Amino acid sequence: MLETIWFLLWGVLWAVYFALDGFDLGMGMLKPFLARDEYEKRVIYNAAGPFWDGNEVWLISAGGVTFAAFPLAYAAMFSGLYTALMLLLFALIVRGVSFEFRSKVDSPGWKALWDGCQVAGSFLPALLLGVAFANIFQGLPLDQNQVMHGGLLDLLNPYGLAGGVLFVLLFLLHGALWLSIKAEGDLRERAASTAAKLWPVLAAVIVVFLAYTWFATKLFTNYMANPALFLILLVPVGGLVMIRVWLAARRFWAAWGASAVMIIGVTLFAVVGLFPAILPSSLNPAWSLTATDAGIKASSSPLTLAIMLGVALVFVPIVIGYQFWVYKTFSAPVTREDLEY
C-alpha cells in the first residue's frame, strides 16, 4: 500500500513541477519573439523573477523522492541517463544565473550573453524532460542487473523527440498565458495573440502524440484492463477546451489555471498508465523496475516509506502555503516600479 501511495505521490510531484516551472520555461523560450526592447525583456524576467526558484523546489522534491522511495530506479536513471541529466542540470544552472547576472553590467553584449543563456536554459530543460519521459513511457533498455544500455543519441528516437516537442509546446502556451497576466499594453496583447495561435497547434500535437503512444508504448494496458480509468482523460481534455474558452473571454488567470490543470492531467494520465513500473524495461518486462512485486521491486522498506510519509505530511503543506503566499503577493502585472532583474 505504501509503495502505491509513494508511486502516486512521485507522479504528483512531477505534475506540479511541470505545471509551475513550465510557465517560466515557456516565457524564457518566448522572449526573443515577444520582447521588442529592453523594457519588455525586463518585464519578462520580472514576470518569472519571484516564482522560478520556488517552482524548482518541486523538481528537487521529485528527484529526492525518487532517491529515497525508489533507490534502485534512482541509481539506474542517474547512471543510464547521466549525460541527459547533466545537460538538464547545467541548463537550469545557467538559466538561474542569468536572472542574477544580467543586470550587473550595463553593456549590450553582456545582456545579450545572458539573454541567450536564458533562452537556451529554458528550451533545453523543456525538450530534455519531454524526451526523457517519453523514453520512460516506451521503456528503457534495462537488463536484469538494472544496467541501462545505450546513450544520449539512443534517447533521440522518433517517439522521444515527439515527447520533447509536446513538452516544448505545453510550456510555450503556459508561458504565453502567464505573460498575458503579468504584462501590460502591447506585450500583453502579443502574448495573448501568441497563446491563441499556439492552442490549435498544441491540440493537434496532443492528438498525434496520443495515437503514437497507443502504438509505441504499453501505457494504455491499465486503461484497457479498467476502462473507468479513461475518465482521467477528461481532466486534460477539459483543461485544453477551457483554455480556449477563457482565452477568448480574456480571462487570463482562468485560462492559465486551465493550462495548469491540463499539464497535471496529462502527467497523471501517463503515471497511471505506467503503474506499477517506474522504469519499464524494453528488453524484458520482467526486468522492469517497479513500485510493487510485479517486476524488480525498486521501492524502499515499509519503515522508510512510512517515515517519509510522516515527513511529507508535515512539510508539503508548509511549501504549498509559502507558494500560495508568493503567488498572491506578486499577482499584479509588472510595472516599471517593479523592475528588479
Handedness of CA 57, 62, 63, 65 (dihedral sign): positive
- Of 198-207, 255-264, 303-312, give the lowest mean pLDDT range: 303-312
Is the pLDDT at 132 greater than 80? The verdict is yes
pLDDT in tens, 92-122: 999 999 988 888 888 889 999 999 999 999 9
pLDDT class for 299, splitting at 50, 70, 90?
confident
pLDDT in tens, 264-294: 999 999 999 998 888 888 888 888 888 887 7
292 alpha-carbon distance from chain centroid: 25
Q: What's the CA gap between 234 and 272, in Å, rounded?
A: 14
Provide the angle, in degrees to the nearest 10, between the axes of the packed helices 38-48 and 2-34. Answer: 170
CA distance 322 to 258: 22
pLDDT(159) > 80: yes
- Pairing status of strand 289-290 against strand 277-279: antiparallel
User: What's the CA gap between 258 and 234, in Å, rounded?
Assistant: 12
Cα–Cα distance measured from residue 121 to residue 274, given in angstroms and rounded to the nearest whole number: 29
Which pTM does this prediction carry? 0.93
Write the CB contacts of 214 (distance below 8 Å, at least 6 apart in sequence): 220
Residue 155 has pLDDT above 90, yes or no: no
Label residue 169 by pLDDT band (50, 70, 90): very high
